[in-house]
Structure 1
Amino acid sequence: MYLSRVRFWPNNAAHQALISVQQKGSYASHQLLWQLFTEQADRNFLFREEQASGLVGSQGMPEYLVLSTTAPAQLSELFQVQTKKFEPRLVVGERLAFRLRANPTVSYKGGSSDSTRGQRHDVMMHARKTAQASGIVDKQQLQQQMDQAAIEWLTCEQRSAKLGVRFEVQPTIIESSQHKTSKKSQSQLISYSAVDYEGVLTVNEPELFLTQVALGLGRAKAFGCGLMLIRRV
């Protein structure tokens, strides 16, 4: 695996690409980043958009952290790319600080008895509607209900087992936001939540955990969700 920091070059081509990102949203970023992996028929990278810092002329511009199974191209008229191998050696019981931007969703089966696949729902919006239906109208209380639902989505027993970790301390939600965007082939807008988590986890199964980190957590990966960043504490 490879972890890369990708920044726009200060040139006209990059400026035009940046305008496209600002107009079209995260999926435009996904399409641009795919140009660094020209040999791929299917996406095998995760990315996270942040604000650039430390590079002259880049303040306020987006930059990307990218986790990929192959190294990105280094020669690009759009991007400056800094890459290092991502090969953490973890042991059982190791504690890691993490940051994660995820799109928490849950599947609910419909009323039909022959329904075998559940319909996907946004966890935060579902929590909001449920709270409103119970009579809660205060904005702060609604947000608390939404945040708690997002935390439970990440730390539930099923997901912890799937990740091979345990959460001994409840993670913190740094920010959550609602987005509307579309893919190139679709005219209909797609709505999704993006939740930024920070916290500490304990590794139970190192190989399983790293496999899941490589795959990404949750949905909306093409819109910049799913990448978990980790460091030892």
Structure 2
Amino acid sequence: MTLYLSHLRLSRRPSAQALAPLLAPADPAARKAAQHNLLWSVFTDGPDRNRDFLWREERENSFLTLSARPPAQTDLFEPHQVKEFAPALSIGDRLDFQLRCNATRTEKTGGLSERGKEKKRHIDLVMDALQAVPGRKDLPEGAQSLRAPARLSLAQDVGRAWLARQGQKAGFHLLAAEVADYSTEVLPGHRGPRKGQPQFGILDLTGRIEITDPAAFLPMLAAGFGRAKAFGCGLMLIRRAA
């Protein structure tokens, strides 16, 4: 399987910079949606094209992508840096990784959708674990919420356990993992009140894995891990462990 790992950066030309407020708006939710559309512009080749790329923002207006096809060059970007990505992996190889992901589990809700499919909902695992920790409304007046200090600790436990389960079907064994950050983003398009707004959680994981089944691992690497792939999650960056 040959993929393409690319570094894309928004052009510094005045014509592109003039569009910066539209291409990279300040509002975080609108920004994710705009970035996704921006990257779609160099991968789509027709209205029927399904998304076949993963992406993550590295720095402001700078992105890494993993794709089945090389990105097209447009005036909105600096010249792309593209290289073929076809790692030759064997059982027992150890890889260091970085992964930005939305870790969820799926629950059946009963009934059928309008398309006749069984209804499901996707539960953010860290948010779900936090529900068991007393928040401000559950404590006496003036008491501090316990959720903020517990947040990263829970994210560590949840993130490691989730990634270990991913490895069982993706051809790797998790040797070590550290959650560098956990944050939440509002889903793009929400126009209602702040309270109760739909959100998704983002885990930034680093660590080391051992390959147990290369034939299973590479397709999963291309497909991405977790949900919210349209919003910059799911891309696992790997390099051989020293």
Deviation at 1:118, TM superposition (A): 4.0
Q: What are the Cα deviations for residues 189-232 of structure 1, in whole angstroms up to 9, with x where unaligned?
A: 64111111000000001121010000000110110000000000
Relative to 1, partners in 2 of residues 1:180 and 1:216: Cα closer, same or farther, differing over 3 Å?
same
Range 112-121 or range 99-108, more displaced: 112-121
Deviation at 1:47, TM superposition (A): 0.2
Deviation at 1:187, TM superposition (A): 5.6
> Do the aligned partners of 1:131 and 1:145 also contact (CA within 8 Å) in 2?
no
Paired residue for 1:176, among 182, 202, 224?
Answer: 182
Paired residue for 2:40, among 15, 18, 34?
Answer: 34
Relative to 1, partners in 2 of residues 1:145 and 1:34: Cα closer, same or farther, differing over 3 Å?
same
Residue identity over aligned pairs, in percent, reads 32
Segments of structure 2 that go 5 or more residues without pairing to the other structure are 140-144
Q: What are the Cα deviations for residues 149-186 of structure 1, in whole angstroms up to 9, with x where unaligned?
A: 12211113xx22211000122x0011111111315xx7
Paired residue for 2:55, among 22, 43, 47?
Answer: 47
Paired residue for 2:133, among 131, 134, 137?
Answer: 131
2:142 is matched with none
Q: What are the Cα deviations for residues 67-104 of structure 1, in whole angstroms up to 9, with x where unaligned?
A: 00001113x11112110000100011000000000001
Task: Calculate the TM-score normalised by the size of structure 1.
Answer: 0.84
1:213 aligns with 2:221: yes
1:148 is matched with 157
Q: What amino acid maps onto 1:175 in structure 2?
A: D
Task: Calculate the TM-score normalised by the size of structure 2.
Answer: 0.81
1:94 aligns with 2:93: yes
Structure 2 CA distance, aligned partners of 1:127 and 1:14? 43
Q: What amino acid maps onto 2:164 in structure 1?
A: T
Helix, strand or coil for the counterpart of 2:134? helix
1:165 aligns with 2:172: yes
Q: What amino acid maps onto 2:204 in structure 1?
A: D
Q: What amino acid maps onto 2:10 in structure 1?
A: F
Instruction: Say how many residue pairs are matched.
Output: 217
Helix, strand or coil for the counterpart of 1:193? strand
1:64 is matched with 63
> Do the aligned partners of 1:131 and 1:142 also contact (CA within 8 Å) in 2?
no
Segments of structure 1 that go 5 or more residues without pairing to the other structure are 52-60
The runs of 4+ residues in structure 1 deviating greater than 6 Å are 133-136
> Do the aligned partners of 2:66 and 2:222 also contact (CA within 8 Å) in 1?
yes
Q: What amino acid maps onto 1:68 in structure 2?
A: S
CA RMSD of aligned residues (A): 2.5
2:232 is matched with 224
2:103 is matched with 104
Structure 1 CA distance, aligned partners of 2:118 and 2:39? 36
Structure 1 CA distance, aligned partners of 2:226 and 2:19? 27
